[in-house]
Chain A
Amino acid sequence: MDVFLNLLLSVIRLCTPIFVAGLGNMFCERVGVLNLGAEGMMISGAFMAVLGSYMTGNAWCGVLCGILGGIAAGGIHALVCVEFGGLHAISGLGLTMFCRGVTKFLCVAIFGSTYSPYVSALQTTDILAKLPMAGSYLAQLSPLVYAAILLGIGAHYIVFHTTYGLRMRALGDDPRAVETAGIDVWKMRYSGVLICGALCGLAGAYMGLGQLDRYFDGMISGKGMIAVIAVKMGNWSPLGIFLTALLLGLFDVIQLKLQISKTLALSPEMLAMIPYLAGIAVLCMKRKQGSRPTALDTVYLRNRYKL
């Protein structure tokens, strides 16, 4: 029982960043912007969160800084893709490389190494410890995990039950139809990309302050890319993304356990490939497009830039 619950806790810990970043990407893709910059937004979020916590000594201020860091990175992507009609894939990949470089530079410049010192973090939720039965387990999770669950429910409500969600779903399918309905396509697209930046920033902050209590170069290690895949596998719905994130988190736990137990005589780098291979395998099996926004990855320019 204890083994099982501990395993479950590990899965939840590892799936949370994928889930939160996946939610962000869902907003971005639902307004028609592909975001391969999720990785960069998460790197920016993680670094800014740790830096914020380091400067203020308050982990919650750190989380706020992380979210702002993600929004800043999202702002670059929005400017390139929404305002100036750049190619989404190129902008996203460029953003990731840019964030990787800038954070490494700042990390060395501020902390004098590619590792930050330990900072105050949010690894446990102590107030839940007093609850009967599961309290001792629930307290072992970061408060950000609970925030993620609330965000998931909120996202579901927004997408399927509000006018903003209706407009967003319409925009992902046909920006021209939305513009002629008298809706500001660009404001909507900006909002989607910036929400994505905020959520990716939060996911990064969770990795820096919820899973660990420091920042080091390369710590995001592809989680942002996994989140992009999770959106497709989760069929652009919060619930689907949650289930996908759980699955991918499980694979992550399995590979970590295998690394520690050394039952398989494989190098840790080979084992680390397991969650990614699982992601690719599932993508190959999933042929149907499902709720894929049909106008995903399309450039839609304002009148003044046309011809």
Chain B
Amino acid sequence: MEYAVEMRHIRKQFRTVVANDDVSLAVRPGTVHAVIGENGAGKTTLMNILYGLYLPDAGQILIDGKERHLRSATDAISCGIGMVHQHFMLIPRLSVADNVVLGSEPKKGLRYDRQAAAEAVARVCREYGLSIDPKRPVREISLGMQQRVEIVKMLYRGANIIILDEPTAVLTPQEIDELGRTLSQLKKRGKTILIITHKLEEVMDFSDDITVLRNGRHVVTVPKAETDIPSLTAYMVGRDIHLGGQKQETHFQGSVLEMQNVSYRRDGREVLKDISLTVRKGEILGIAGIDGSGQTELTELIAGVLPCDRGSVLYQGEDVTRRSIAQRKATGIAFIPQDRHKHGLILDFSVEENLLLGMQRKSQFIRRRFLQDRKAIHQMAENSIQDFDIRPADSANKASALSGGNQQKVIVAREVGNQPTLIVADQPTRGVDIGAIESIHDILVRHRNVGGAVVLASLELDEVMMLSDRIAVMYDGRIVGILSAAEATREKIGLMMVGRVSETEVPQ
């Protein structure tokens, strides 16, 4: 049988890191094939090779049975390959139609024919049953629709093989269902689809065949019917995994944090509107919402990174509205920021220095009033590395040399090691491999079990639902409602995430 895509013995090395080592992949035409693996397993590298963005050091690529040398995206496009990247390749300022036709525009003489572009886009949308307004600027449309624009872009170019890199990362549950319908439409029309993901539920929903990569190597390729989630996890990680920590019974007593009618404006727009909420001892308060609903601003405001424009923040009964980040940190508020590279770590500093950040003024790390106590710092770093299983276990390593999961563990170790009362975490498991997710979940739940409080903002609905005792759902800078873990369902939260509060819902 002839495969739509066949990659044979692909190898790709970046300096000292081997991203793909002897990886082979064969995709049957007209099927959805999932490529799964942890972060750094080499999935995206492999797909970038297929799309001509990287040249492989060794190996062969066959498209529809013919060997091809793909040196650029243009080569790949001419072979009928299209790729939807994880971060959309769209220009916000330009219209949907402009974005779709960019690179192969309809022309009238020298002139760019806008009308023809809009018509061509509308035609593709009709054919595949996708609803998009071609004339609207991309910056005004939702992420789900932007993804459809990307798919239309591929179809407009006549792609027969469509690669989707982490397509569900930014979507709401409803949009994910919609994507599923789109994929089956495409399949019906004979398109071959490659989908990269690490979310196994979706793998089981969408795909026909599954290829697992681990550490840049091919582990196994199986038809979906012959496998299940636990065995896929085992293939990905190489061992059994238990997410969600071990929750014990706790008594929610007294409030740790109270926010009263807090608002925050940026560029004249209210990004947080009249937020009131309470976090109690011994609970994890989850914050759900689609990307950009104000979750990041909310966590930054609690940590003291952003000031309130109105309202007040009470921490253990005291008004901390005007306190600085350092003062809040000293009284036991720990903060795990969303962007670990920008706000969590100094990448050029060593692991040891990063573990010290923010605590450099503590008396135990100071000697003779203003000198650093190197010995104590080193001891602390060694302990943290041991306790939190940071790999490689070398405190002199630069933070930039660590994998995403281990970088995140450095941040968690630093923040949790400071014996906080309240942990504020913004997407602590984003882009982190499943082994590290397991240990981060474990740490947060253990903190809760001993009577600490956690505010956890996450775009992963499963994560929020698995860990939280209560879930606050945000939409457009507002808390739409707060659900207890018992009454929360994916559907309820999904509707609230797009601002639709059902009648049965009683917002707190």
Q: Is A26 an interface residue (CB 8 A)?
A: no
Least Cβ–Cβ distance between A162 and chain B, in angstroms: 5
Q: Is A307 an interface residue (CB 8 A)?
A: yes
Q: Are A162 and B111 in contact (CB under 8 A)?
A: yes
Q: Given A163-B112, A182-B74, A307-B15, answer yes or no on A169-B104 (Cβ-Cβ < 8 Å).
A: no
Q: Are B105 and A163 in contact (CB under 8 A)?
A: yes
Chain A residues with CB below 8 A from B112, complex form:
161-163, 165-166
Least Cβ–Cβ distance between A232 and chain B, in angstroms: 17
As a 0/1 sequence over residues 41 to 52 of chain A, the CB contacts with chain B under 8 angstroms (1 = contact) are 000000000000
As a 0/1 sequence over residues 156 to 187 of chain A, the CB contacts with chain B under 8 angstroms (1 = contact) are 00000111011101100110111111111000
Query: B104's contact among A170, A176, A179, A182, by CB below 8 Å, is which?
Result: A182
Q: Is B110 an interface residue (CB 8 A)?
A: yes
Q: Is A263 an interface residue (CB 8 A)?
A: no
As a 0/1 sequence over residues 174 to 204 of chain A, the CB contacts with chain B under 8 angstroms (1 = contact) are 1011111111100000000000000000000
Chain B contributes a number of interface residues (CB within 8 A of A) equal to 30
CB-CB nearest in chain A for B94: A170
Chain B residues with CB below 8 A from A176, complex form:
89
Chain B residues with CB below 8 A from A180, complex form:
51, 53, 73, 83, 85, 89
Task: Report the bound CA distance from A241 to B311 in whole Å.
Answer: 45
Q: Are B14 and A181 in contact (CB under 8 A)?
A: no
Chain B residues with CB below 8 A from A170, complex form:
91, 94, 98-99, 102
Q: Are A166 and B93 in contact (CB under 8 A)?
A: no
Chain B residues with CB below 8 A from A182, complex form:
72-74, 77, 103-104, 157
**From residue 301 to 343 of chain B, which have CB atoms closer than 8 A to chain A?**
none
Chain B residues with CB below 8 A from A173, complex form:
91-94
Query: Main SS of chain A's interface residues?
Result: helix
Q: Are B102 and A178 in contact (CB under 8 A)?
A: yes
Q: Are B93 and A169 in contact (CB under 8 A)?
A: yes
Q: Are B15 and A177 in contact (CB under 8 A)?
A: no
Task: Report the bound CA distance from A179 to B77 in whole Å.
Answer: 12
Task: Report the bound CA distance from A174 to B107 in whole Å.
Answer: 23
Task: Report the bound CA distance from A178 to B15 in whole Å.
Answer: 27
Query: B91's contact among A162, A174, A307, by CB below 8 Å, is which?
Result: A174
Q: Is B3 an interface residue (CB 8 A)?
A: no
Q: Is A303 an interface residue (CB 8 A)?
A: yes
Chain A residues with CB below 8 A from B94, complex form:
166, 169-170, 173
Q: Is B271 an interface residue (CB 8 A)?
A: no
Task: Report the bound CA distance from A179 to B71 in whole Å.
Answer: 12
Least Cβ–Cβ distance between B62 and chain A, in angstroms: 21
Least Cβ–Cβ distance between A163 and chain B, in angstroms: 4
**From residue 440 to 471 of chain B, which have CB atoms closer than 8 A to chain A?**
none
Task: Report the bound CA distance from A85 to B157 in whole Å.
Answer: 31
Q: Are A303 and B55 in contact (CB under 8 A)?
A: yes
Query: Main SS of chain B's interface residues?
Result: loop
Chain B residues with CB below 8 A from A162, complex form:
110-112
Least Cβ–Cβ distance between B378 and chain A, in angstroms: 32
Least Cβ–Cβ distance between B80 and chain A, in angstroms: 13
Query: B73's contact among A161, A174, A181, A291, by CB below 8 Å, is which?
Result: A181
Task: Report the bound CA distance from A166 to B98 in whole Å.
Answer: 8
Query: B102's contact among A167, A291, A303, by CB below 8 Å, is which?
Result: A167
Q: Are A166 and B55 in contact (CB under 8 A)?
A: no
Q: Is B413 an interface residue (CB 8 A)?
A: no
Interface magnitude class on chain A:
20 to 34
**From residue 127 to 170 of chain A, which have CB atoms closer than 8 A to chain B?**
161-163, 165-167, 169-170
Q: Are B102 and A181 in contact (CB under 8 A)?
A: yes
Least Cβ–Cβ distance between A23 and chain B, in angstroms: 18
Q: Is B54 an interface residue (CB 8 A)?
A: yes
Q: Is B90 an interface residue (CB 8 A)?
A: yes
CB-CB nearest in chain B for A183: B103
Q: Are A303 and B54 in contact (CB under 8 A)?
A: yes
Chain B residues with CB below 8 A from A178, complex form:
102-103
As a 0/1 sequence over residues 279 to 299 of chain A, the CB contacts with chain B under 8 angstroms (1 = contact) are 000000000000100000000
Chain A residues with CB below 8 A from B73, complex form:
179-182
As a 0/1 sequence over residues 58 to 74 of chain B, the CB contacts with chain A under 8 angstroms (1 = contact) are 00000000000000111
Task: Report the bound CA distance from A17 to B278 in whole Å.
Answer: 63
Chain A residues with CB below 8 A from B14, complex form:
307
Chain A residues with CB below 8 A from B105, complex form:
163, 166
Chain B residues with CB below 8 A from A179, complex form:
53, 73
Q: Are A177 and B55 in contact (CB under 8 A)?
A: no
Q: Are B54 and A174 in contact (CB under 8 A)?
A: no
CB-CB nearest in chain A for B117: A166
Task: Report the bound CA distance from A24 to B199 in whole Å.
Answer: 49
Interface centre among A161, A178, A179, A182, by most chain B C-beta atoms within 10 angstroms, is: A182
Chain A residues with CB below 8 A from B85, complex form:
180
CB-CB nearest in chain B for A176: B89
Task: Report the bound CA distance from A169 to B112 in whole Å.
Answer: 13
Q: Given A162-B111, A182-B73, A303-B53, answer yes or no on A177-B104 (Cβ-Cβ < 8 Å).
A: no
Chain B residues with CB below 8 A from A166, complex form:
94, 98, 102, 105, 112
Q: Are A174 and B111 in contact (CB under 8 A)?
A: no
Chain A residues with CB below 8 A from B83, complex form:
180
Least Cβ–Cβ distance between B196 and chain A, in angstroms: 15
Chain A residues with CB below 8 A from B54, complex form:
303
CB-CB nearest in chain A for B85: A180
Chain B residues with CB below 8 A from A183, complex form:
102-103
Q: Are B107 and A163 in contact (CB under 8 A)?
A: yes
Chain B residues with CB below 8 A from A165, complex form:
112
Task: Report the bound CA distance from A170 to B104 in whole Å.
Answer: 13
Interface centre among B72, B91, B153, by most chain A C-beta atoms within 10 angstroms, is: B91
Q: Are B72 and A177 in contact (CB under 8 A)?
A: no
Chain A residues with CB below 8 A from B15, complex form:
307
Task: Report the bound CA distance from A171 to B102 in whole Å.
Answer: 10
Task: Report the bound CA distance from A196 to B347 in whole Å.
Answer: 38
Task: Report the bound CA distance from A167 to B104 in whole Å.
Answer: 10
Q: Are B91 and A177 in contact (CB under 8 A)?
A: yes
Task: Report the bound CA distance from A182 to B99 in whole Å.
Answer: 13
Interface centre among A161, A177, A184, by most chain B C-beta atoms within 10 angstroms, is: A177
Task: Report the bound CA distance from A174 to B93 in whole Å.
Answer: 11
Task: Report the bound CA distance from A169 to B14 in whole Å.
Answer: 32
CB-CB nearest in chain A for B75: A182
Chain A residues with CB below 8 A from B102, complex form:
166-167, 170, 177-178, 181, 183
Task: Report the bound CA distance from A147 to B375 in whole Å.
Answer: 73
Task: Report the bound CA distance from A169 to B93 in whole Å.
Answer: 9
Given contacts A169-B91, A176-B89, 19 further A-B contacts (CB under 8 A): A162-B110, A162-B112, A163-B105, A163-B107, A163-B112, A166-B105, A170-B94, A170-B102, A173-B91, A173-B93, A174-B91, A181-B153, A182-B72, A182-B73, A182-B77, A182-B104, A183-B103, A291-B93, A307-B15
Residues in B lying within 8 Å of A, measured CB to CB: 14-15, 51, 53-55, 72-74, 77, 83, 85, 89-94, 98-99, 102-105, 107, 110-112, 153, 157
Can you report 17 A-B residue pairs in the complex whose CB atoms are below 8 A from each other? A163-B112, A166-B102, A167-B102, A170-B99, A173-B92, A174-B89, A174-B91, A176-B89, A177-B89, A177-B90, A177-B91, A178-B103, A180-B83, A180-B89, A181-B103, A182-B74, A291-B93
Chain A to chain B: the 9 pairs with minimum beta-carbon distance, closest first: A181-B103, A177-B89, A182-B74, A163-B105, A163-B112, A182-B103, A181-B102, A173-B91, A307-B14
